[in-house]
Homo-oligomer: A and B are copies of this chain.
Amino acid sequence: MRLRLGCRFEHDASAPTPAVVLVEPHSDADGGLVAERWTSEPALETTSFVDLYGNRCRRLVLPEGPSSFSYDAIFAISPAPEPVPGPDEGQHRIEHLPDELLHWLLASRLCESDALAPRAWELFGGTEPGARRVQAVVDWIHENVEYGVASVPTTGTVEIFERRGGMCRDFAHLGVTLCRALGIPARYVCGYIPDIGIPGPFPPMDFHAWFEVWLGASWWTFDARFNTPRIGRLPVGRGRDAVDVAMVTTYGAASLRRMTVWAYEADERAELTEEPLLETRSG
């Protein structure tokens, strides 16, 4: 199955403004890249780097005045829903966790797992460790937190936990925070998600956020917003929380005028020379 995905950002800057852009699928995304294209208007010089967490970032300087940049790609994906851990998939005792996973137990800016630990144990300490405990956390968030309540980039999970409302980013933060508090390595993920095989009424195309936890011998995807296995989910950035993986970070005087995102099933013969089918949101 083929996925067409990408995004376009339009800015207006009162002075040249440095920016970091993180919109390209992570190199360990399932499936394979068939074609990709990066363009900008006016033509902007960019450099690339891979950050501490393996994310593929671009740097550029937005010029004074209006400018835009776009990423567009075709991906081959599996037509099957994403794998879910079996209910008996085990949780590691801390002493058996691989060294590099200890990092993902630490509290972070927006996931104050240290502060929420007592509440996490109160709510979930009685569940069975492992996949069942993580699913209990996800079910609880899905059922008790209202989707669509606005938050700002500095809204932490303690506040979301009390408010019981948020956006997909906040749902992911809640999952990360509660799992870390319970001794389960967890990381925040943002990326593309197409609306394949989903009975609506979800908005069809946007950036999305979810989280991953370490069970058994691998990372598993959980999504407290949708709470159902999806097709074609494509991670872009992974980090401790949303602070680490902003799609676009501008340092200075640029306004985002418009952001357009696409992620949809495409014909096997789709080419990047065709215009993408768009959903538009004003920034």
A101-120 interface (Cβ within 8 A of B) = 102-103, 106-109, 112, 114-115
A47, B20: Cβ atoms closer than 8 Å: no
With A43-B35, A114-B154 as known contacts, state yes or no: A59 contacts B95, CB within 8 Å: yes
Pick from A49-57, A121-129, A168-176, A274-282 the stretch touching chain B: A49-57
Tell which of B20, B37, B243 touches A102, judged by Cβ atoms closer than 8 Å: B20
Instruction: Tell me if A34 is interfacial: C-beta within 8 Å of chain B.
Output: yes
Instruction: Bits for A4-46, please: 1 = Cβ < 8 Å to B, else 0.
Output: 0000000000000010100000010001111111111001111
Interface residues on A, range: 35 or more
B50, A32: Cβ atoms closer than 8 Å: no
Closest CB of chain B to A88's CB: distance in Å?
20
Tell me the complex Cα distance, A272–B49, Å. 23
With A20-B102, A61-B95 as known contacts, state yes or no: A34 contacts B43, CB within 8 Å: yes
B48, A243: Cβ atoms closer than 8 Å: no
B35, A39: Cβ atoms closer than 8 Å: yes
Tell me the complex Cα distance, A272–B34, Å. 18
Q: Give the number of times this chain occurs in the complex, counting copies.
A: 4
A99, B59: Cβ atoms closer than 8 Å: yes
A199-243 interface (Cβ within 8 A of B) = 243
Residues from chain B with Cβ under 8 Å of A243 in the complex: 106-108, 114
Tell which of B40, B45, B51, B94 touches A31, judged by Cβ atoms closer than 8 Å: B45
Tell me the complex Cα distance, A106–B53, Å. 14
Among A43, A51, A115, the one with the most B-chain Cβ atoms within 10 Å of its Cβ is: A43
Instruction: Tell me if A259 is interfacial: C-beta within 8 Å of chain B.
Output: no
Instruction: Tell me if A140 is interfacial: C-beta within 8 Å of chain B.
Output: no
Instruction: Tell me if A153 is interfacial: C-beta within 8 Å of chain B.
Output: yes
B61, A47: Cβ atoms closer than 8 Å: no
B59, A18: Cβ atoms closer than 8 Å: no
Instruction: Tell me if A244 is interfacial: C-beta within 8 Å of chain B.
Output: yes
B106, A244: Cβ atoms closer than 8 Å: yes
Instruction: Bits for A174-215, please: 1 = Cβ < 8 Å to B, else 0.
Output: 000000000100000000000000000000000000000000
Residues from chain B with Cβ under 8 Å of A109 in the complex: 106-109, 112, 114
What are 15 A-B contacts with C-beta separation under 8 Å? A27-B47, A31-B45, A35-B37, A35-B40, A36-B37, A36-B38, A37-B272, A43-B74, A45-B76, A52-B103, A61-B95, A95-B251, A106-B243, A112-B154, A114-B153
